[in-house]
Structure 1
Amino acid sequence: MVPPFKKSNGRGRKRIVASLAESKTLALYREGRALLSRNDLDQVSISQVSKAAGISVGAFYVRFRDKDAFLDFVIANTFAEARSVFQEQADVLYAPNLSDVLIRHFSDPEFNGIVRTAVKLGFLAERHRTPFDEYRAYVSQHLAGLLLEDAKKGERRQRIAAIDSALAVLTYAALFPDSEIDFGEIEIQQVIIDLLSGKSGNVTPLPVKRSSTTKPKNKPSKSPRDPESLRKPNSDKVKSKGSSNGLKKI
């Protein structure tokens, strides 16, 4: 859990420390995640979150100075929780277990909604996406430590590239929910597991559904024009030079 925010005065109200241990803050956190899983962050308002959590807008401002502060709180705690879950499995030192954890995380619409929120806000200020970057770095370091321990010198670079590829695929699927990557499919799960297990040499490419394209029908070639059609109209009636004018020769 992320340390609670410090108390500060805002809008003339006495501030309450924002902490998931406090029921109303927890309700705001949960409803905020749910709304961000279905909507872009620009479409989520303070009044919506407050109403969904069953508290007043005033109670929101007692805990958070503005929407940005609330989003930072949600982002930080989401990735802190994900990191904690990953750490529990990392202690087992078994790569497929860690792969399952990551697939579950990136299959969760709420988790993916926070990934999109962190990345989008990160374009405005880098601090917004720092928790996500730190989470990815943490995952990458643990997997590298596990997979590179018995790797030969020539295999190290290949295994690191495999880990980076897996995290890139997971992140892409989170950022673009309408993409063809579906972690419910066994084939795609196996690709991620193989990459995160250091089996990059035998990884099957991700199955991508492509719309069938119909080849344009071959148009029948035009038959060459008849030379007769190239003649001028009534050309057969035009007399050529030297032709008789119809008078009998005496």
Structure 2
Amino acid sequence: MPAKQARSRATRDALVGAGRKLCEIKSFDDLSVAEIAAAAQCSVGSFYSRFADKDGFFRALINDVVDRDSAFMHSPLDCAEHLSTEEILADAIATTLKAYRKRRGLIRAAIRRSMTDPTVWEPFRLHGQAIADRLVARLLPRFPNDPDIERRTRFACQMLYGTLNNAVLIAPGPIQLDDDTFEPELRRVFHQITIGSGASDRPPDDKRD
């Protein structure tokens, strides 16, 4: 239900913000409407005057966090001309893992719901695709003689998101999402799949000694 006035919009934003923060500490499926409204310091009636139901709120929340995470994750890749290849890959891993750790409650609920309604996952899928597109755009000019760099980069992204989704959903181990070794292991495997161990980690025009 679109907000018609500034005050109504502020209340709606407060509800979405409360849901976003609550999902940092628990799964969305474990939240009640009353809990969300209380965290936003408004009434349950205010919630239902802006969202048809909890499912409508869930989709609004997904769109909100994807928009936020898109701005957070795209910027480093859009300004990567002077970074080494190793730095670009490391930053992509670090920002993705940080987002998953922060959004795990929402991502877990989205994965479960997508089993019966694939449209729920669509914003996350498009977001991951956009990240892969930007990463490919940064790597292609650095390896002009490698015809498989795009395919390997996209597969590395597929591996990354698959591993993170699995860690959020069922935590199979042996390395868990919050373990200190998770990020360096992801970075090592991503680097190996994408460019291997023999590729240079400097941009083509790097003039450093």
TM range (shorter): 0.7 to 0.9
Task: State the Cα deviation string for residues 210-230 of structure 1 (Å, max 9, x = none).
Answer: xxxxxxxxxxxxxxxxxxxxx
The answer to which structure has the higher helix fraction is: 2
Task: Specify every segment of 5 or more residues in structure 2 that has no aligned partner in the other structure, as ranges.
Answer: 81-87, 198-209
Which residue does the alignment assign to 2:111?
119
- Matching residue's letter, 2:186: I
* Residue 39 (structure 2) pairs with residue 52 (structure 1): yes
| Alignment pair present for 1:98 and 2:92 | yes
Structure 1 residue 132 displacement after superposition? 0.9
2: CA distance, partners of 1:18 / 1:138: 33
Answer whether contact 1:147 1:197 (CA < 8 A) is retained.
Answer: no
Change (3 A) 1:149 1:163: farther
Instruction: Tell me which amino acid in the other structure corresponds to 1:189.
Output: E
Residue 195 to residue 50, structure 1, CA distance change in 2 (3 Å): same
- Larger radius of gyration between Structure 1 and Structure 2: 1
Q: Across the two proteins, how many residue pairs are aligned to each other?
A: 187
Report the TM-score when normalising by structure 2.
0.74
- CA spacing shift, 1:153–1:89, aligned 2, 3 Å: same
Report the equivalent of 1:158: 152
Q: Which residue of 2 aligns with 1:182?
A: 176
Identify the structure with bigger relative contact order (alpha carbons < 8 Å, sequence gap 6+): 2
Shift of 1:154: 4.5
The counterpart of 1:142, out of the listed 107, 110, 134, is: 134
TM-score, normalised on structure 1?
0.64
Where structure 1 has 5 or more consecutive residues not aligned to the other structure, the ranges are: 7-15, 203-250
Distance 1:38 1:184, change over 3 A: closer
Look up the match of 2:71: 84
Shift of 1:86: 0.9
Question: 1-side partners of 2:108 and 2:47: how far apart?
Answer: 23
Structure 2 vs 1, CA of residues 18 and 173 (structure 1 numbering), >3 Å: closer, same or farther? farther
* Identical counterparts, % of pairs: 20
Displacement, 1:184? 4.6
Contact 2:66 2:127 in 1 (8 A): yes
After the TM superposition, which of the residue ranges 98-107 and 21-30 deviates more from structure 2? Answer: 21-30
In structure 2, what residue type is equivalent to 1:139? Answer: I
Deviation at 1:193, TM superposition (A): 2.2
